[in-house]
């Protein structure tokens, strides 16, 4: 069952599921973030890794060339045409053992050809979310730091899972920054 704003607020306050937690939705002059009726709109931080083809390397998830990124910190990130950047959420998550989160990109960016990709926030996973932001357009695209980028929907089970992300010692457990592919 998708959980309501009351349930999300309770877990954010009592179990520190989301830190920092914004209790209401902020939207005046910004891409919205904070608590919404059945989810939580996360913000993108101000640190980015912008993909570049400067080394003409093959993108290989088993042997990723970390030199394929340019580090950038600032209020607005410009993603080159037909390229992507990695960033992280401003919020740190501690998922309860009986909760999974599904993350979906915000329509404001999607309507501009900017697509975000996420994996589920598994039961008992914790950390900052690494965000992949693709610019599918032939033009440069702006991403606004400290503003909304996606919404998390929370699914609660009536029982704890048998093997959580923490139990299997997942490779992205406790990530604190933008985390590149690992094996």
- Annotated catalytic residues are 132
Q: Which residue shows structure tokens 């598994």? A: 122
Instruction: For tokens 């088993």, name the residue.
Output: 62
Backbone angles phi, psi at 31, to 5 degrees: -75, 125
State how far the Cα of 54 lies from the Cα of 183, in Å rounded to an integer: 24
The upper half-sphere exposure of residue 6, i.e. CA atoms within 13 Å in the direction of its Cβ, equals: 0
Residue 32 contacts residue 97 (beta carbons within 8 Å) = no
Cβ within 8 Å of residue 21, ≥6 positions away: 9, 12, 13, 35, 91
CA dihedral 40, 149, 126, 175 (to 10 degrees): -170
Q: Which residue, chain included where needed, has tokens 């309770």?
A: 10
How many angstroms separate the CA atoms of 174 and 127, rounded? 4
């Amino acid at each position: 069952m998708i959980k309501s704003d009351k349930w999300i607020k309770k877990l954010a306050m009592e179990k520190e599921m989301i830190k920092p937690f914004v209790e209401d939705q902020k939207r005046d002059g910004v891409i919205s973030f904070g608590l919404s009726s059945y989810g939580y709109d996360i913000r993108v931080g101000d640190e980015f890794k912008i993909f570049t083809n400067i080394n003409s390397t093959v993108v290989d998830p088993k042997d990723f060339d970390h030199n394929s990124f340019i580090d950038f910190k600032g209020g607005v990130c410009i993603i080159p045409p037909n390229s992507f950047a990695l960033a992280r959420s401003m919020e740190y998550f501690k998922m309860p053992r009986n909760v999974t989160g599904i993350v979906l990109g915000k329509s404001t960016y999607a309507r501009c050809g900017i697509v975000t990709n996420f994996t589920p926030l598994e039961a008992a996973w914790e950390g900052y979310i690494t965000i992949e932001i693709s610019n599918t357009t032939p033009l440069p695209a702006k991403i606004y730091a400290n503003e909304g980028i996606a919404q998390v929907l929370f699914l609660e089970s009536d029982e704890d899972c048998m093997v959580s992300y923490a139990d299997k010692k997942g490779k992205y457990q406790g990530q604190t920054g933008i985390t590149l592919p690992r094996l």
